[in-house]
């Protein structure tokens, strides 16, 4: 999965799954643009990844992907640094699981901007760049609630389902331009979200024990939570020539926990 000379944008890439994806893409030789709303988080991530070797293959921008100006800043920075974009990973997101009755209009608008419109706006800017060299790879990161909605999963489940529909539409519209569009569907992955939950409710339990208990209670067939870099390996595969005939597909990365194919 040699990604040498490929340029990748990874949104939400300063922690958790996003950082795992950025780490693997960079390790495989890609130039990677790190993004987050917080400049200090961007800088810290670039310093950490630089330990793998840099050679000008890392840059970052602090931007809010809910803001069209932030989206433009992300693409502008990638073009200023490297003059092209080969891989776009739409990963930005945050948990938004509440009973339906507790979500007002603003909650729906915020989640829509973050999980659907950010991907729409970035793709709208990046696809014409990819078309100029007849090659591109877009990967949307979604939660398995987009395939199997459960109670108290709104608005996330609805937005993630929209993200799955988006990759199917785009895979058909952009295929003639050599652009492949896929999704990675996440199950239970180690992240700051879970560690914050532990800090609030089970701080006395060692982290590995906490994850083991949650894996058991969640009935994950493989018996454990996934690691962010395992997600990164799948994204790197989809971004590489090894996946040259894969498009319009949503691949589960969930230890077997999702009920849907």
Q: Considering the domain boundaries, does residue 239 fall inside one?
A: yes
pLDDT tens for 223-235 read 999 999 999 999 9
CA 129 to chain centre: 20
As a whole number, the mean pLDDT across the chain is 94
The answer on 198 and 182 residing in a single domain is no
CA distance linking residue 115 with residue 237, whole number of Å? 23
pLDDT tens for 196-218 read 888 888 889 999 999 999 899 99
The answer on 179 and 105 residing in a single domain is yes
Q: Considering the domain boundaries, does residue 259 fall inside one?
A: no
The answer on 161 and 77 residing in a single domain is yes
7-10 and 87-90: which strand pairing? parallel
Q: How many domains does the chain have?
A: 2
- Residue 53 confidence (pLDDT): 79
The answer on 99 and 170 residing in a single domain is yes
Q: CB of 210 within 8 A of CB of 202? A: yes
CA distance linking residue 164 with residue 146, whole number of Å? 7
pLDDT tens for 152-199 read 988 999 999 999 999 999 999 999 999 999 999 999 999 888 888 888
Q: Considering the domain boundaries, does residue 261 fall inside one?
A: no
> What is the extent of the structural domain holding 196?
191-225
The answer on 245 and 198 residing in a single domain is no
Q: Considering the domain boundaries, does residue 102 fall inside one?
A: yes
What pTM was estimated for this model as a whole? 0.95
């Amino acid at each position: 999965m040699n990604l040498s000379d490929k340029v990748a944008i990874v949104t939400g890439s300063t922690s958790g799954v996003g950082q795992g994806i950025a780490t693997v893409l960079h390790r495989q030789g890609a130039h990677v643009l790190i993004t987050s709303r917080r400049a200090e988080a961007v800088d810290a991530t670039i310093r950490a990844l630089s330990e793998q070797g840099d050679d000008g293959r890392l840059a970052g921008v602090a931007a809010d992907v809910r803001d069209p100006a932030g989206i433009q800043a992300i693409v502008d920075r990638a073009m200023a640094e490297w003059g092209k974009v080969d891989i776009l990973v739409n990963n930005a997101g945050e948990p938004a699981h509440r009973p339906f009755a507790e979500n007002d209009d603003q909650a729906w608008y915020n989640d829509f901007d973050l999980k659907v419109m950010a991907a729409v706006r970035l793709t709208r800017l990046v696809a014409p760049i990819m078309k100029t060299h007849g090659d591109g790879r877009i990967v949307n990161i979604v939660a398995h609630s987009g395939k199997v909605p459960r109670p108290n999963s709104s608005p996330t489940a609805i937005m993630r389902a929209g993200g799955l529909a988006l990759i199917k539409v785009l895979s058909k519209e952009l295929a003639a331009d050599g652009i492949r569009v896929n999704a990675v569907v996440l199950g239970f992955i180690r992240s700051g979200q879970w560690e914050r939950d532990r800090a609030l409710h089970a701080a006395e339990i060692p982290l590995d024990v906490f994850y083991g208990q949650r894996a058991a209670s969640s009935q994950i067939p493989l018996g454990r939570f996934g690691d962010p870099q395992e997600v990164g390996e799948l994204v790197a595969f989809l971004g590489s020539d090894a996946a040259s005939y894969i498009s319009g597909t949503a691949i589960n990365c969930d230890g077997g926990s999702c009920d849907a194919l």
